[in-house]
Amino acid sequence: MNGNSLLYGQTWECSIFLDSAFCHSIQNGFFTYAPHVLVVTRLPMLLGTRKGTASVTGFIDMMGYVGATVTGIATAVFTGMGGWNMAFTFWAVGAFGSAMALALLWNLKKNKETYM
């Protein structure tokens, strides 16, 4: 074993960042946390007023946590009742419903009042 060896004989030359769980966690964090930040923080600032931005941000964030809880419980119930096909159908219907709800905001105009 040389001085560069890591766990299971991998070396730095094998680019541990491209084939490791670390790289995948960075990618997953980017693709899940970035949309969350855009919806929870940026959208209320663009569409709301200065007075209501904090309330709207808190409400959106709360609904995200409630949705995550309900999804976890409902997935367990649906996989027990009808298997994974029923769970995937539940997720697809939820994704479609969310897309339709956000489609209503697509051409929404900003209020005249500026944020700052």
Query: Using 50, 70 and 90 to split pLDDT, how confident is the model at 114?
Result: low
pLDDT above 90 (res 93): yes
Please give the pLDDT value at position 13: 46
- Domain residue limits, the chain: 20-103
* pTM, rounded to two decimals: 0.53
CA distance 91 to 76: 12
Contacts of 104 (CB under 8 A, 6+ apart): none
Average pLDDT, stretch 81-91?
91
Please state, rounded to an integer, the average pLDDT across all residues of the chain. Answer: 76
Mean pLDDT of 84-105: 89
